[in-house]
Amino acid sequence: MTEQAPAAPDDEEPAPAPPPKPGGKPASHALSIPWVRLRSAGSGHQLYKRMLGEVDSKARGGDLVAVYDRSDAPYGIALYNPHSLIALRLLTRGVGTFDADAFFAERVAAAADFRRGVLGLDAVSDAYRLVHDNGDGLPGLVIDRYGDCVVLEFYSLGMFRQAARLERALKAHYPNARFFHRASPHTQSHEGFELKPNLGTGTRVKENGVTFLVDPSGGHKTGFFCDQRDNRLAITPFARGRKMLDVCSYTGGFALYAKKHGAEEVTAVELDPDAVELLKKNANANQLRVDAVCADAFPYMRQAAQNGKRYGLVVLDPYKLIATPDGYHLGRQKYIDLNRLGLSLVEPGGILVTCSCSGMLTWPDFMQFVRTAAGSAGRRVQIFRKSGAGADHPFAVDHPEGEYLKVLWCRVL
């Protein structure tokens, strides 16, 4: 007969029930801004829709909100947008006695001091990245300074709603600033805001002795690319006495540096006709002769190779060829094809400088693309330097995606 287990004593207490989950306003919430309670949280600065639990009924898209974890412990202050995949962009860890005016004034002051006081960029150029997204603790925002023009590029509804507060903070450091606002159609659609057309004229800036005309109301991104400043200067020792090809030249950054520093002849290839016209004006402003060509880079380089063209210095600086995970395969092939064509145009012993601004592309993958291109082109390639964006483009330790620009310096044999 099977032995039965003894019955539990009548006075044994049942297992305790789990504590009820918090509901309603967090007990410690005392700020005037709305609150959000999380269902779950990760270690990063971005919190997605699926991570949200209860949300204050007063919270609206673009609001600053106090964030609490599932146990009602203070988590941080964030920008809130229920219509975006990234529902919360963290500004601070912990809640405290948050004061928005003081917060933005402090972050802008720290960013300006880093560029001026620490990096000393005013002695080099009046064009530089003033705020670099999470790298400066202001997620969803990029600010570029071009002389008296300060361009705010918004990547989030929350930062767009803070435009007036940001401009007040910037005026303390750049009292004569003229402000321009930029945001891509993609950002405006996905974040849920609309920018009015920019008004105002462009300006002229100087970078390491080279003059550029900048139109903050038009062109790509904020009108110019400050991130390549150090790399533009670094090509100059390789330019003297050589023929140079600058592919995807935009308004002529690499081309003008090369010509100013002794390149025998310079060809700049750019698909955007407006950029080509500005490139020509930049060449005239520097009293330099550059052959500006409005053409698609791929057929142009194929034709140049068929015609037996060779250059001592080739720079490849394409637009973002991998913008989404779905576009990775096609972008990979474009990077390989572009580099294969570029390598075929470098004379033996010449230099190839090849760039990627695709944040989704890792260093190992980019190097693999170049190895594949070298094998396809039948060229032996020495990589002698790796570089990225200038120091005015810092990236946060918990946001490695901020290290988006990758540059390989190659000797082609």
**pLDDT tens readout for residues 310-336:** 999 999 999 999 988 999 999 999 999
The whole-angstrom separation of Cα 86 and Cα 99 is 23
Distance CA 62, CA 69 (A): 20
User: What are the pLDDT digits (tens) for 84-108?
Assistant: 989 999 999 989 899 999 999 999 9
Q: State how far the alpha carbon of 376 is from the alpha carbons of 8, 153, 162, 180, in Å.
A: 77, 40, 50, 45
* 136: DSSP letter: G
Candidates 172, 136, 134, 177; CA nearest to 156 is 134
Name the pTM for this structure: 0.90
What gap in Å lies between CA 380 and CA 401, rounded to an integer?
31
Find the radius of gyration of the CA atoms of the chain: 26
Integer angstrom CA distances of residue 298 from 8, 248, 291, 327, 342 = 81, 10, 18, 19, 9
Strand partners, 196: none
Pairing verdict, β 64-68 and 74-80: antiparallel
Task: Please report which confidence band the pLDDT of residue 15 belongs to, taking 50, 70 and 90 as the band edges.
Answer: low
d(CA 130, CA 143): 5
Pairing of strands 141-146, 64-68: unpaired
Catalytic residue among 226, 248, 357, 410: 357
Work out the average pLDDT over 338-358: 97
Mean pLDDT of the chain: 92
Whether residue 355 lies in the annotated active site:
no
Residue 1 is predicted with a pLDDT of 40
Examine the pLDDT at 2 and tell me if it is beyond 60. Answer: no
How far is the C-alpha of 313 from the C-alpha of 203, rounded, in Å? Answer: 30
CB-based contact 67:38 (threshold 8 Å): yes
Least confident of 157-161, 183-187, 215-219, 276-280: 215-219
d(Cα 222, Cα 145) in Å, to the nearest integer?
A: 9
Between strands 381-387 and 406-412, the pairing is: antiparallel
Pinpoint the alpha helices (H) of 128-228: 157-161, 163-171, 185-191
- Cα distances (Å, whole numbers) of residue 315 to 268, 300, 302, 392, 413: 10, 14, 16, 22, 16
Tell me the per-residue pLDDT of 43-68, one tens digit each, with 9 for 90 and over.
Answer: 778 999 999 999 999 999 999 999 99
Domain annotation for the chain: domains and CATH numbers: 35-93 (2.30.130.10), 100-191 (3.30.750.80), 225-412 (3.40.50.150)
In the chain, pLDDT over 70 holds for what percent of residues?
A: 95
